[in-house]
A and B are shown apart, each in its own frame.
Chain A
Amino acid sequence: MIPADFDYVVAKSLDEAVSLLAKHKDDAKLLAGGHSLLPAMKLRLMQPKVLIDISRIKDLSYIREEGGQIRIGAATTHFQIETSDLLRRACPLLPETATNLGDMQVRNKGTIGGSVAHADPAADWPAAVIALNAEIVAVGPKGERAIKSDDFFVDMLTTALQPGEVVKEIRFVAPKGHVGQAYMKVRHPASGFAVVGIAVTVSVDGGKCSSCGVGVTGVSPKPYRAKGVEGALKGAALDAKTLGAAASHAADGAQLNSDLFASGEYRKHLAQVYTRRALETAAGRAK
């Protein structure tokens, strides 16, 4: 449990992080909260020669509403999101997701940018990021670009980030009107990771669902949008029968994860049950 030798540098700004990354290339890893990176280094499953610490960059830690969008800096911790008044009012899905994430130590140190960039197949944030149809803003040597959450998660531990790019912020338009949201997960008893995690946002207009987003994590090697569920909700009245029927599509077409704790079939079942519960909770909150 002792990592291989490495050098450690602190980046004082995002620009400095980008240029340090350009200098050290594949030898370097960015250190944010370190709650995935450090365990992997202790097991020597990762042996970076240089750690570039971005957790002290003040400009990367913020939650603000700007130009009709909510913007969350990449180095914002889970705890800051959990306790943000702005988010509790404008997008309670995110604080609820944070509350369910890891333990107190993880929430105090871990960051939303680190979590999405690592793309653990059972991480909680990706479900919420997909449900909100957020964009992930990355900065690299060639400048800044925004990547849609649907395109960002490519496969297990693999994202659309290019070598040299750093996640700068997560941004999205908060749903307006009569909105109900919920995050529900089956928590792995040992790791706290999501065996299944379902993030839901529904907007209701005139008794019917005007828009919705459903993100699923833990079920498949990569988080995904439950399109079948969304399709069954849009334009429909959110009664128990509709919600149950919609939830049955939660794992449609998904390649299913399987491990000692939960088989693929069991995960599929859990995804359907927890999607129904999350939808019922969200619909209840939308009134």
Chain B
Amino acid sequence: MKIEGTQKISAARERVFEALTDPGVLQKCIPGCEQMEKTGDNQYSAKLSAGVGPVKGVFTATISLADLRRPEHYRLVVEGKGQPGFVKGSGELNLIEDGGGTSIQYSGDINVGGLLASVGQRMIQGAANMMAGKFFSALENETAAGQKAS
């Protein structure tokens, strides 16, 4: 399944890049992320309770960041396993200066398997879009709050 889009964030590009590579910020912004730990250089492990509304599965995931070109680009690789199935995905993020803010262009490919795929297939795209929407609105708040504090 492909997921792609562009999201405008009203903070400067450096600030957005920093937030997108900060496990503390990511934990706050990723919907249902209960725990996020650094396990190595640009490697993290996370516990996610991912889903939509009351329908949720608990996943443990490894997240790694690659091809980092501060402050404009990185690649994100996620592998998650949980009771209802597995999720594997990778995506590219490009940050483009846009007026005073930043446009984040994202595109990725997500594979979902196991029970989740056989039963939840028809809702996965919608769920992914909803979670992306929540992530970016949280990121907007987070980067705005950071700017006021600094």
Contacts and interface: CB of A to CB of B under 8 A. Distances in A.
Interface of A: 29, 39-40, 43-46, 119, 121-122, 155-158, 188, 191, 193, 221, 255, 257-261
A46 B123 contact: no
Contacts of B84: 43-45
B122 A29 contact: no
Interface in B17-70: 51-57
Contacts of A193: 122
Given A157-B52, A221-B130, A45 B125 contact: no
B140 to A, nearest CB: 18
B56 to A, nearest CB: 6
Specify the main secondary structure of chain B where it touches its partner: helix
A273 to B, nearest CB: 20
Which 7 pairs of residues, A with B, have the shortest CB-CB distance? A157-B53, A221-B126, A259-B122, A156-B126, A45-B55, A157-B52, A158-B53
A44 B83 contact: yes
9 contacts: A45-B56, A156-B52, A156-B126, A156-B130, A157-B52, A191-B122, A255-B129, A258-B125, A259-B123
B122 A156 contact: no
Given A221-B126, A259-B122, A259-B125, 4 more contacts: A156-B52, A188-B122, A255-B129, A258-B125
B127 interface: yes
Interface of B: 51-57, 83-84, 115-116, 119-127, 129-130
Contact of B51 (A45, A221, A257, A260): A45
Contacts of A45: 51, 55-57, 84, 116, 120
Tell me what chain A mostly uses at the interface: helix, strand, loop, or mixed: loop
A157 B122 contact: no
A279 to B, nearest CB: 26
Which has the most chain B C-beta neighbours within 10 Å: A29, A119, A255, A259? A259
Nearest to B82: A44
A40 B130 contact: no
Nearest to B120: A45
Nearest to A222: B126
B126 A46 contact: no
Contacts of B122: 121-122, 188, 191, 193, 257, 259, 261
Nearest to B52: A157
Nearest to A157: B53
A221 B55 contact: no
A216 to B, nearest CB: 15
A46 B124 CA distance: 16
A217 to B, nearest CB: 12
Nearest to B55: A45
B55 A44 contact: no
B34 to A, nearest CB: 15
B126 A257 contact: yes
A122 B126 CA distance: 12
A260 B125 CA distance: 10
A255 B126 CA distance: 9
Residue among B121, B126, B127 with max Cβ neighbours from chain A (10 Å)? B126
A258 B56 CA distance: 20
A48 to B, nearest CB: 8
Contacts of A258: 125
A255 B127 CA distance: 13
A260 B129 CA distance: 16
Contacts of A29: 54
